[in-house]
Structure 1
Amino acid sequence: MSDQSSLAALYVQLCQKFVAMTEVLQTTRELIDGKPALTPLQAYSLWRDVQSKHALHDLQRYTQGVILPESKVMRKH
């Protein structure tokens, strides 16, 4: 395997694990600070863009309701 192929494989692995790593860091911050690490807007953006489970959990705490995916909420005309 060439150096370029090795780097490409490493990059793919990092991309796949990035969301999980950020969720661990956010949970750690919440445990230390005793408050949510994300604002409602940050949580929505993360959930919408990368399907963050932690962000979805935060959204559910903020809204105390069911969060619907954007495609089911908004119609394109």
Structure 2
Amino acid sequence: MLQRAGETELAGKPVAKPLVANIQRQHQALRRQQALLLEQRHARIAADEGLATAVERYRELKKPGPGDQG
């Protein structure tokens, strides 16, 4: 679509409104998807950090203490 619009402009003709609207819609959808991906990446980082903290705490609690036999 962008190529078609570009070729139309290079030919000195106006780009059809439906084509412009379609390009804008797809661009907006792409921006929403990029924002969602960024949110998911941040959530993944937070989850990984939480898991690392939980594993560290678990390992700390599993260590034998003084007087424990193991």
TM-score by length of 2: 0.36
Specify which structure has the bigger relative contact order, considering alpha-carbon pairs within 8 angstroms and separated by 6 or more residues.
Answer: 1
More helix by share: 2
Could you state the TM-score of these two structures normalised by the residue count of structure 1?
0.34
Indicate the structure (1 or 2) with the bigger Cα radius of gyration. Answer: 2
